[in-house]
Amino acid sequence: PRVNVGTLDTTLTDYRIDYPFYREDVGDIAQGALGQTSLPLNYFRRPQFFDFGFASPYYAYTYNMENVDFYNTKKPIIRMSYEESGQKRFREENFNIMHAQNISPSTGFNIDYKARGTRGQYVWSRTKNHNLAVAFNHTGKRYSVHAAYYNNHIEQQENGGVVGVWALRDTTFEMPSGIPMKLSEAEAENTYRNNAFFVTQSYAIPLQRVTDRDFSLADLST
């Protein structure tokens, strides 16, 4: 796995943005609420889930082999946040807790859990997202291993969209929940579950002599 230096949680790094699909590039075309599907405006960033294509619109929320984080930290870290917005009946909620700790200077583990969702402004548009990742890593001078288990669980109600422009053109609704939807009576719902475990290992053969000052063999091997 590639080593990246973590960015500071400031407005300069868009830490204030709650919607994950708005943090990259020029943003996404989204259904509107937290936890619902989205599609990147940048065509070259659009995900391709070849194993299960229907999961692609949830790319911004789900864990996979490429976005599970591994930490190497001198002191234990606990990061927890909770945000909510809107009226109680339409509330959006975003909860995240992460714990990372090193067992030794080269061995560590971390747990990351996210729960996001909304009750929806329109009828039958509730969403629930639960994502968990448990990771372990060891980076020695010669041998390194990275292993992780992740679980994704998403539930989203489908209302099919507004019945037509005519429903909005000459009518005034006191609340968005009063706008008629195509599938409001069908009680259609999508449920996506995904579990996976992966391990990556490597053993470096140095092209130069290894000394006690060398933390890694990245610059000494191919």
- Residue 1: what pLDDT? 52
Is 55 domain-assigned? Answer: no
**How high is the pLDDT of residue 75?**
93
Q: What is the pLDDT of residue 133?
A: 98
Q: What is the domain count for the chain?
A: 1
CA–CA separation, 101 and 109 (whole Å): 6
Buried b / exposed e along 42-76 (16+ C-beta atoms within 10 A): eeeeeeeeeeeeebebbbbbbbbeeebbbbeeeee
Helix boundaries (H) for 60-129: none
Q: How far apart are CA 153 and CA 191, in angstroms?
A: 7
**pTM listed for this prediction:** 0.82
- pLDDT given for residue 222 in this prediction: 40
Q: Is residue 190 part of a domain?
A: yes
The structure tokens listed for 221 are: 């091997």
What are the tens digits of pLDDT across the range 16-62? 677 888 877 778 988 878 888 899 999 898 888 767 888 899 999 99
Q: What residues in the chain have per-residue pLDDT under 70?
A: 1-16, 50, 206-222
Identify the domain containing residue 101 by its residue range. 63-203
Residue 214: per-residue pLDDT: 60
Residue 67 lies in a domain: yes
